[in-house]
Amino acid sequence: MSPKFYAVLGKSDTLSIAGKRQGIWQLIEPQNLPDGWLISLCNKPAIFPPSPAPIFWDCSAIRYSRLNFPQIGKSLVTPLFCINQYLDLQAKPGDFITCP
């Protein structure tokens, strides 16, 4: 399997151009598009590119790795919590999912 490039998306990955909010992915030329997108449960994107490309859904462990009980906001991060988050975010076949 050859290496793939997954670009990271977060809430603030937008620009305002002429008063219109646009995602940075709208400015990437087609030949430079990533193989997929990496999105953290902590940083759900405000807007997301409609794309058939796979998504690597990250469980945000870096945010809570030092806590005795993993937590995002006020929610405990359990496998069930992650599954429900991914379902809400509409994970699709072919996506990669991580959870504790």
Domain span holding position 28: 6-97
pTM of the model: 0.67
Measured CA to CA, the distance from residue 75 to residue 59 in angstroms comes to 13
pLDDT tens, position by position, 18-73: 888 887 777 888 888 888 888 877 666 555 666 778 888 887 767 667 778 888 78
The number of beta carbons lying within 10 Å of the beta carbon of residue 80 is 10
Closest CA to 46 of 81, 64, 71, 22: 22
The answer to the question of residue 29 being in a domain is yes
Task: Judge contact between 25 and 6, C-beta under 8 A.
Answer: no
The answer to the question of residue 28 being in a domain is yes
The answer to the question of residue 55 being in a domain is yes
Measured CA to CA, the distance from residue 23 to residue 31 in angstroms comes to 17
Report pLDDT for 63. Answer: 66
Closest CA to 54 of 87, 91, 8: 91
The answer to the question of residue 1 being in a domain is no
Domain count, the chain: 1
